[in-house]
Chain A
């Protein structure tokens, strides 16, 4: 593929390096991946900062992802517009948050966001029910889901308000030592 200068200006690359936990090489690799997802949409010249978005339909229709219950939610959380349409920045952000270098709190924050389906900054019962239904593919009865949800909130709800705040979530997740340490992927 082409010369890196034709894709990004050095300033852009530096900026990306500052904003993410990636090296130049990794950024370029991710860019090519991004480009490959939609070659007809994404130009190979990014120096002029084109306003390109990868529509969610494209990600959601990937064959590898078709069974993944969280595909839409991930795209929503990491996309800026909340609709699942991802710009390159979003794309890089996503992998950056899941890279090894990312601090625990950032990961916990994003994990929390993924669970927080209704974006009210709390994981409440309806969020948990959604999560559970996604995880079990609707195989539990309402009743069972409800009980498990109660239990979950029960376990980690420190301030007893019947829902999980970010603090509750972090506290719970930090308690298990190698929990977040496995929450990353290598690019």
Chain B
């Protein structure tokens, strides 16, 4: 007989689910349509509210089902029922859209209510949202009751167990802090199992005792079994209520996880007790045989272990599936929702503990799934889950309130109500104190008095108890109405009174609150190291303690599970790296948020950085932050060239402009595909630009800072550059765009003064094959002459390259006045080392500005001629030429130079190189777009001959550079 009850429950749940739609559909009682279109049943309620129009326009399948309903509709719906009216342009199709419409309206009401609550900051800080929602439910219920004389809505157990509860539990399970959970698992299990059993039996027996003593009225019919049944369903702490209240209280994590974990895991106990007692009530207490008790115990084990196993099986399945979703990123989140939900339903199917199953599914799969899916999917999963859970919670509380306003339910017995209230509170407190006393012998961190107070007080009852009590069969349990009323009162009391007072209580007792500190990489590392150390010490001591087993589990996980369940590209990286990246991204985001729109183009590329492509390129953002000193603005150039308020201001404005004007030039075709979200073009470009910006800042900053370290430093950065050159090549898999730059290099080389030349030559000899570009020698000449020789030497010593840094360019912007500020900036700029790539990037970024500032002469496409010219020049200058000569760059970015005609000596060259520089701009955009197309090809496919050559010439192969060994791209 025991095994019949599960079936009964399942069918009851099924019927109730179908009923729900009947109830909701019967707003107009005359409507006989039990409009439960298959579509709405298959989806969760939060997802089901299609907008009515869409629903009406739905496909053929739905249209067919609409046909089936048509006869009913035409007879029932008032407006459309005139016969023989011919074709009507507008039809009133209420009965057709009714069910989803009402569901949507309810969700809308609930959501709007939330908005309204949060208008008043003061109310929500004092009163928990759950209380407000229940109050709102009471009001709404009252309105409905007055309007229709009959309560039409109530919290349907079917709806609750099949749709509302899973969303909340799924969210809770998936985002459960697993380490915290498993650290406290023993404690949680004790509270969940022993505590719930204790509460159930004590409450049941005590109530029965009260009944015998005559305190509870005679009208409440019931024997011992009925009261035990009631005790079982009223004793379980409710996850929804606990979550709702504790989330606002912010007690420390350990406390929260113990109370919340208990509320989740006690589900198994409650389910078993509930079923066992129902079957006992059905057969009558006299007929219960001893074997049945044992069956009860066995069923407890099966429900527990089975539920957990089902959850874990689905977790493995889910993790395994997400291993292969690389090409269908768009439906990744769906797998997660579906499989987690299926874990719940499957457990329900076999009448196992569904909550347990779902919780363990969430906990189990989280690690692997999070590693497998893309960052966007992660965000999607997170927000969808939170949205669903939040809506489900809101609806639950509103419906709890509405359900209370129902005359038919109220069968009040003061004795029963007050006794129940007292008992559950007292027994909860006693249970907590007793169990904690025992547990503290074993716990590493004992629970103190305050914790115990909060835990006893936090024993909130909620919708689970209500749904269970409504599910009771009124014919078999005679006192059902009394139980329902009492349950409602208990729920209201715990959620509203205790929920209201727990916050002041926690404050008053000074319970340690959760510190909302950001995780640091230190903590992560030390936590792991400590784990190992403790495990080692335990092993030396010969104890098989907690650390020992955790260590064993982690090894198992590493050796087998992770290999099976994670993508190859992911699993060898380790969580430490994962954490590092997360922290890094967080820092980056905060930096950029603080920095305003200086880096607005960079902001676009941030989300993509997480997908382990090319992250090491960007490297450590906090380092920028720290080195930068200000911590506010990432833009190093702005700070580096402090040469007076006015100039600085202008510089900033200029940067601002650059940042903002940058985007319009990069417009991409909107690309639509249902199945793929193109990771490609735009993002890659933005990312590239961001990387370049960052790199330029890093390089320039480093070199400015450690100028004193001179050559050695410079060499390092050059090497780096070299590495990243090759890297760049691989990454983008495209020809470099700055080919023409290398060709133009020699143009300005000869103008260097002898000393400079020799210095540079020396540099070049050392750094063969490195493409660095020196610029603006000529402009510096005049100011330099006035400087002491030693100074100049010092400056140039550290100068392999003079960067086309933004600030440098700004100095020569047409609107910047004369060369008056030049001497000031010499030392700053000369020491900056910036790879040519960056020049290119800078050029692109500045080009938009330029087109504004000086539209006329710029865009003459003289490319071939000038190149030839420059070659000639190079030969004349006696430069060694070849790929080596890449080492000395074109002096100046002349585009910014043309107004300063006072430097006569170089004017010719400038004029020559000026169009050249600008001429390489027009080819750039087409190349850009072509790279997008080629982006997916293997990196070796289209190596640029030029770079390839250079890498051959270079002293060390680029592959040996640490820089180039970053994460694999694409």
Contacts and interface: CB of A to CB of B under 8 A. Distances in A.
B360 to A, nearest CB: 24
B526 A179 contact: yes
B506 interface: no
- Chief secondary structure at chain A's binding surface: helix
> Looking at chain A, what size class is its interface with the partner chain?
35 or more
Contacts of B965: 141-143
B517 A139 contact: no
Interface residues of B, number: 53
Given A136-B574, A155-B521, A176-B523, A68 B620 contact: no
A1 interface: no
A140 B584 contact: no
B620 A154 contact: yes
Contacts of A175: 517
A102 B939 CA distance: 57
Contact of A135 (B183, B528, B967): B528
A165 interface: no
A111 B534 CA distance: 11
Interface stretch (B69-77, B535-543, B841-849, B916-924): B535-543
A89 B545 CA distance: 23
B907 interface: no
B577 A148 contact: yes
A65 B540 contact: yes
Interface string A102-116: 000000000100110
A132 B576 contact: yes
22 contacts: A33-B541, A64-B548, A67-B555, A68-B539, A70-B532, A95-B537, A95-B541, A131-B529, A132-B576, A139-B574, A140-B574, A143-B963, A143-B966, A146-B962, A151-B580, A155-B622, A172-B522, A173-B526, A179-B523, A181-B445, A183-B530, A183-B534
Nearest to B961: A143
B626 interface: yes
B538 A155 contact: no
Nearest to A33: B542
Contacts of B548: 64
Nearest to A157: B626
A131 B524 CA distance: 12
A177 interface: yes
Interface in A50-96: 59, 62, 64-65, 67-71, 74, 94-95
A62 B525 contact: no
Contact of B536 (A74, A179, A183): A74
B622 A151 contact: yes
A37 B539 CA distance: 11
Contacts of A150: 620, 623
A186 B537 CA distance: 11
A176 to B, nearest CB: 6
A116 to B, nearest CB: 12
Nearest to B627: A154
A172 B521 CA distance: 11
B540 A62 contact: yes
B547 interface: yes
A184 to B, nearest CB: 7
A155 B572 CA distance: 25
A142 B520 CA distance: 21
Given A139-B573, A151-B580, A181-B445, A98 B530 contact: no
B577 to A, nearest CB: 6
Nearest to A59: B540
A115 B529 CA distance: 9
B616 interface: yes
Contacts of B577: 136, 140, 144, 148
A136 to B, nearest CB: 5
Contacts of B515: 177
Interface centre among B254, B537, B584, B962 (most CB of A within 10 A): B537
Interface string A157-187: 0000000000000001101111101111111
B194 interface: no
Interface of B: 183, 254, 444-445, 512, 515, 517, 520-523, 525-530, 532-543, 545, 547-548, 551, 555, 572-574, 576-577, 580, 583-584, 616, 619-620, 622-623, 626, 962-963, 965-967
A20 interface: no
Given A150-B620, A155-B522, A179-B526, A185 B538 contact: yes
A19 interface: no
Nearest to B519: A176
A152 interface: yes
A118 interface: no
A28 interface: no
Contacts of A186: 444, 543, 545
A37 B542 CA distance: 9
A72 to B, nearest CB: 10
B450 to A, nearest CB: 15
Contacts of B555: 67
Given A136-B577, A140-B574, A114 B533 contact: yes
B525 A131 contact: yes
A6 interface: no
A1 to B, nearest CB: 15
Contacts of A37: 540
A7 B526 CA distance: 38
Contact of A68 (B523, B536, B616): B536
Given A74-B536, A74-B540, A111-B533, 10 more contacts: A68-B551, A95-B541, A131-B525, A135-B576, A139-B574, A147-B620, A150-B623, A152-B522, A156-B522, A173-B526
Contacts of B966: 141, 143-144
B533 A65 contact: no
Nearest to B551: A68
A36 interface: yes
A44 interface: no
Contacts of A98: 534, 537
A147 B576 CA distance: 12
A3 to B, nearest CB: 22
B576 to A, nearest CB: 6
A142 B963 CA distance: 9
Nearest to B441: A186
A84 to B, nearest CB: 11
Contacts of B517: 175-176
A181 B528 CA distance: 15
Given A135-B532, A182-B530, A30 B541 contact: yes
Contacts of A144: 577, 580, 616, 966-967
Most chain-A CB neighbours within 10 Å: which of B540, B580, B616, B962? Answer: B540
B184 to A, nearest CB: 11
Contact of A65 (B254, B512, B521, B539): B539
A181 B532 CA distance: 16
B372 to A, nearest CB: 18
B537 A74 contact: yes
Contact of A148 (B521, B534, B967): B521
A114 to B, nearest CB: 6
Contacts of B540: 37, 59, 62, 65, 74, 94
Contacts of A155: 520-522, 622
A37 B910 CA distance: 82
Given A68-B551, A185-B537, A140 B522 contact: no
A168 to B, nearest CB: 10
The 8 closest A-B pairs by CB, nearest first: A64-B539, A68-B536, A143-B962, A136-B574, A70-B532, A151-B521, A148-B580, A155-B520
A178 B522 contact: no
B520 A71 contact: no
A98 B543 CA distance: 14
A151 B521 CA distance: 7
B541 A187 contact: yes
A79 to B, nearest CB: 12
Nearest to B544: A64
A88 to B, nearest CB: 13
B616 A143 contact: yes
Nearest to B555: A67
Contact of B623 (A36, A154, A183): A154
